[in-house]
């Protein structure tokens, strides 16, 4: 029996929707999802990503094409930041599961594991997960603190990817290519900035 904090890795959800999982793994995932709305949402998303890739034979498409297709599938109305000056909070890194490790960090069956990072500000904490999905990266996470929803931007000039911060202040951005990004989380008149976020660091081209 898995606990609340023991969520299903995105790669395992992809295995399930692509029918690579064993009967035992399928049963375990289904049992978890019955009690976990977060993994249920992730599974629905994995299923959408997989179906668009199948439908358009996009397995060999360049990453930016896949990213665009996935983004198009997730029509979301991102709320505008409230008018007036935003309080700017600079996030400080508290924990990084990928820190100081070699590029081969966490390689298992050819796939690196998800990287976890924890940032703090005066007001909130940001729990960040960077999950490899094929040759792209999914940035997701949750803000912990006085947050009741808002928006998220992942910026790498000139591109900006956006997502919703839901009522639990969870978010999941569209898959992106490796690179250096700035993550901006906006809620209740405040903006948290995570600058110089290296996504896919140390991983060679696919
Ligand atoms: Zn879960």
- Identify the bridge partners of residue 191 per DSSP, sorted by sequence position: 88, 186
| Percent share of the chain, pLDDT over 90 | 21
Q: Are residues 151 and 195 in the same domain?
A: yes
In a domain, 82, yes or no: no
Mean pLDDT of 22-41: 91
Please check whether residue 114 lies inside any domain of the structure: yes
Whether pLDDT at 114 is above 70: yes
Measured in Å, residue 40 CA sits from the centre of ligand 1 at 7
99 in the same domain as 17:
no
Q: Give residue 131's domain range.
A: 87-199
Tell me: do 32 and 95 sit in the same domain: no
Asked if residue 45 belongs to a domain, the reply is: yes
Question: What burial letters (b/e) apply to 65-86, b meaning 16+ CB within 10 Å?
Answer: ebbebbbeeeeeeeeebeeeeb
Mean pLDDT computed over 178-202: 88
How many angstroms separate the alpha carbon of residue 122 from the centre of ligand 1? 28
Strand order in the sheet with 115-120: 92-96, 115-120, 125-133, 136-144, 170-172
**pLDDT band per the 50, 70, 90 thresholds, residue 14:** confident
The number of folded domains in the chain is: 2
More confident residue, 58 or 88: 88
Which neighbouring-strand residues pair with 120?
A: 92, 125
Residues 34 and 117 in one domain: no
Least confident of 37-46, 75-84, 155-164, 175-184: 75-84
* Overall average pLDDT of the 115-124 stretch: 87
Distance 60 CA to ligand 1 centre (A): 30
Same domain, 117 and 24: no
Q: Which of 50-54, 80-84, 125-129, 166-170 has the lowest mean pLDDT?
A: 80-84
Distance from C-alpha of 98 to C-alpha of 96, rounded to nearest angstrom: 5
Does 144 reside within a domain?
A: yes
| Over residues 152-157, mean pLDDT | 91
146 is a domain residue: yes
- How confident is the model over 62-82, as a mean pLDDT? 56
Residues 99, 50 share a domain: no
In terms of pTM, does the model score above 0.75?
no
Under 8 Å between Cβ of 178 and 201: yes
In a domain, 72, yes or no: no
106, 171: one domain: yes
181 and 96 part of one domain: yes
| Confidence tier at 28 by pLDDT (50, 70, 90) | very high
Give Cβ neighbours of residue 57 (< 8 Å, ≥ 6 apart).
Answer: none
Residue 64 lies in a domain: no
- Asked, for residue 62, whether it belongs to a domain, the answer is no
187, 118: one domain: yes
pLDDT (average), residues 174-203: 86
Ligand 1 centroid to residue 179 C-alpha, Å: 28
Q: What is the pLDDT of residue 203?
A: 45
Question: How many angstroms does the Cα of residue 192 sit away from the middle of ligand 1?
Answer: 26
């Amino acid at each position: 029996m898995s606990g609340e904090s023991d969520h299903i890795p995105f790669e395992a959800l992809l295995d399930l929707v692509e029918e690579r999982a064993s009967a035992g793994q399928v049963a375990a995932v289904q049992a978890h999802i019955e009690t976990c709305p977060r993994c249920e949402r992730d599974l629905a998303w994995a299923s959408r990503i997989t179906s668009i890739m199948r439908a358009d034979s996009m397995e060999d498409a360049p990453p930016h094409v896949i990213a665009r297709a996935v983004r198009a599938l997730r029509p979301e109305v991102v709320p505008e930041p409230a008018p007036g000056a935003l309080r700017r909070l600079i996030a400080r890194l508290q924990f990084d599961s990928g820190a100081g490790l070699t590029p081969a960090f966490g390689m298992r069956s050819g796939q690196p594991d998800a990287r976890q990072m924890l940032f703090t500000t005066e007001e909130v904490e940001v729990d960040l997960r960077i999950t490899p999905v094929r040759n792209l990266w999914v940035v997701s996470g949750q803000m912990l603190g006085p947050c009741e929803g808002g928006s998220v931007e992942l910026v790498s000039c000139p591109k900006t990817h956006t997502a919703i911060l839901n009522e639990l202040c969870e978010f999941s951005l569209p898959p992106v290519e490796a690179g250096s990004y700035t993550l901006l989380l906006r809620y209740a008149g405040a903006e948290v900035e995570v600058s110089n976020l290296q996504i896919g660091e140390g991983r060679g081209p696919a």
